[in-house]
Amino acid sequence: MVGFLLNVPVVFAKKKKPSTMDNMLVTEVYSFTKNQTYTVCCSSDFLKEGDKVLFIDDFLANGKAATGIIDLVNQAHAELVGMGFIIEKAFQDGGKLLREKDIQVESLAIIDSLDNCEIKIRE
């Protein structure tokens, strides 16, 4: 939807290597939720040198998916211009890690805590 609203192309990173994809950029991403490492890839036919990339994802927790995307962007010699998330779990280190790398991070909602089964959303 962001690509549609901004009228820019959208490139998807896939969690599995498709047999039909050529010229793959590949990285490994560990999922704490699934306790599994995924091979994430996209085609260098669609992510190219000089491209400007805005990464959008649903959750930011430990930042592993975001770090994997940074690796793919670097492999393509493209430029990461920012990252956007629906929900950021501020009690985990992903946001801090990305901001320390001087990456612009925007989140629609930031959860500060889930202690005592209570969701504390940042004002």
CATH of the domain at 64: 3.40.50.2020
The pLDDT value given to residue 34: 85
Where does the pLDDT of residue 33 fall: very low under 50, low under 70, confident under 90, or very high at 90 and above? confident
Where does the pLDDT of residue 103 fall: very low under 50, low under 70, confident under 90, or very high at 90 and above? very high
Least confident range from 9-13, 17-21, 33-37, 107-111: namely 17-21
Structural domain including 23 reads 2-121
The pLDDT value given to residue 68: 95
Where does the pLDDT of residue 42 fall: very low under 50, low under 70, confident under 90, or very high at 90 and above? very high
The pLDDT value given to residue 19: 76
The pLDDT value given to residue 22: 79
The pLDDT value given to residue 86: 97
Residue 39 has pLDDT above 80, yes or no: yes
Q: What is the mean pLDDT of residues 86-98?
A: 97
CA gap 23, 44 in Å, rounded: 6
Buried b (16+ CB within 10 A) or exposed e, 3-24: eeeeeeeebebeeeeeeebeeb
As a whole number, the mean pLDDT across the chain is 93
How many separate domains does the chain show?
Answer: 1
Instruction: Mark residue 83 as left, alpha or beta (left: phi above 0; alpha: psi -120 to 50; beta: remaining).
Output: beta
